[in-house]
Amino acid sequence: MRRFIACLTATSLAASALTAASGVASADIAQPSVVSANPVNNTPHVLDGTVRAIAVVGSLVVVGGNFEQVREAGSGKTALKRHNLFAYDMKTGKISTVFVPKVDGTVHALQAGTSGWLYVAGTFKTVNGTTTGTVASINTTTNKVHTGFKPNVDYRVTTMVRRGLHLYIGGTFTKAGGKSRSAVARLDALSGVADAGFNFTVTKPRSGALKVYKLAVDPGDTRLVINGTFTQVNGQTRHQIALINLGTTAKLSTWSTTEYADACNLNAFDTYMRGMDFSPDGKYFVAVTTGGPYGQSTLCDSAARWEASATGSGQKPTWVNWTGGDTLLSTSVTGSAVYVGGHQRWLDNPYGHDTAGPGAVSRPGIGALNPSTGKALAWNPTRTLGHGVEALVAHSGGLLVGSDTEELGKEYHGRLGMFPAG
């Protein structure tokens, strides 16, 4: 009886937390102006590996990826052991000594719950010695794993978005939440059970394994866009990208495009799709890509805006910004800007071929685009290139950046930094 009551109490508390107001997510944030180009000075430094995911949970910034050591900003600070996941106070930069999880694999995605809860997804199997599979829920104020949350995902999860009691995940799995699910699923955010009203057959990879690489959900939880290696969804042709209309029973939209059907560098990339994000009003989304210097004939190495309300086949982007042959990995849309990160040297470079073509502007590693025209804004903090920016997360206080290099805004910031709101 005691065990039953304890379990019931824990579940009730978790339910109360999760049915409260939604946690902060990039797509929810409308910023009135472009952020400052001068990073704040108090963000901690990640001393090895790569930062791949960031979430804001209350006053904490939670950082995930593949790394083993972190250090607070300032001289004389001691390196601390942290296994692929840690948190720090946004205001002070102090690294949490309470939230010290041990995650036995790479963290690819993070989403805020409420009342200190956090969702974690990646390639790990255990958290704090508890077997969780590749999706887990942890409380940042107690460091405890929520054992009542049992999504039972059978393989890698690379992308995740929470909207209220809906937790959307994508990756290379075949089972999730107790049901067969092909690379994409909607789970109950409390129990982890798969939603019977959301079941899509994602098939026919263009190359390599079948996977959903990234997904984005509009703030109103009415539309979902997925990208990955697939070329069919529910038997309908969808070249690396598909739009889904959400609701009690989710349905595949008629929206489709052949703009991502081109090969790019097929031998190097099973999919050249990378980051995506919806605008704060949900009217459009932006997708960024890798692929190689193919110029205007394809959408390789580009950022493109797509209108979310459009229907039917043959969709064309509202605008495209090409890098001239360099990868874009991530994007965050705030209304005042479309931020893009990767290892690009230039933007506004449709005629470049690993060169600065006519009209190209230098934007090493990070930049901002005009949401209406797609042209590069003047904002140009710069960063050392490396592999590139894996995480761009806008919030009310600014823009968080996670990568694999150590210079941001012409200052030392080990793999992590934040540009404050302008």
Looking at residue 28, what is its pLDDT? 67
Is the model's pLDDT at 178 over the cut of 50? yes
Is residue 14 assigned to a domain?
no
Rounded CA separation 139/54 (Å) = 16
| Euclidean distance between CA atoms 388 and 289, whole angstroms | 12
12 in a structural domain:
no
Contacts of 132 (CB under 8 A, 6+ apart): 124, 125, 126, 145
pTM of this structure: 0.94
User: What would the pLDDT profile of 351-388 be if each residue is shown by its tens digit?
Assistant: 999 999 999 999 999 999 999 999 999 999 999 999 99
Residue 408 clears pLDDT 60, i.e. is over it: yes
**What is the Cα gyration radius of the chain?**
20
Nearest-angstrom CA–CA distance, 416 and 418: 7
- Cα angle value 251/118/172 (rounded, 5°): 45
Measured distance CA(163)–CA(123) in Å, rounded: 22
Contact indicator for 42, 53 with CB cutoff of 8 Å: no
Q: Is the pLDDT of residue 295 over 90?
A: no
- Asked if the structure places residue 251 within a domain, the reply is yes
On the 0-12 / 13-18 / 19+ scale of CB atoms within 10 A, 52 is buried
Gap between the Cα atoms of 19 and 190, Å rounded: 9
Tell me, yes or no, whether 368 lies in a domain.
Answer: yes
At residue 20, the pLDDT reads 36
Cα-based distances in Å from 329 to 215, 283, 316: 13, 22, 21
Percent of the chain with pLDDT over 90: 89
Non-local CB neighbours of 90 within 8 Å, separated by 6+ positions: 56, 59, 60, 61, 397, 418
Is 11's pLDDT higher than 60? no
Q: Which CATH number does the domain housing residue 78 bear? A: 2.130.10.10
For tokens 């840690």, the residue is 86
Q: Structural domain tally of the chain?
A: 1
CA angle 259-359-388, nearest 5°? 65
Query: Does a structural domain hold residue 3?
Result: no
Q: Helix (H) and strand (E) counts for the chain? A: 1, 37
Residue 187 lies in a domain: yes
Task: Say if 13 falls within a structural domain.
Answer: no
Judged by DSSP in three states, 320 sits in strand
**Does residue 296 sit in helix, strand or coil?**
helix
Residue 198 belongs to some domain of the structure: yes
Range of the domain at 318: 24-420
Cα 11–Cα 14–Cα 20 angle in degrees, nearest 5: 140
Residue 87 pLDDT grade (very low, low, confident, very high; cuts 50, 70, 90): very high
Kindly give, in sequence order, each residue whose CB lies less than 8 Å from that of residue 23, ignoring residues fewer than 6 positions away. 55, 56, 57, 111, 112, 113, 114, 162
Does the pLDDT at position 399 exceed 50? yes
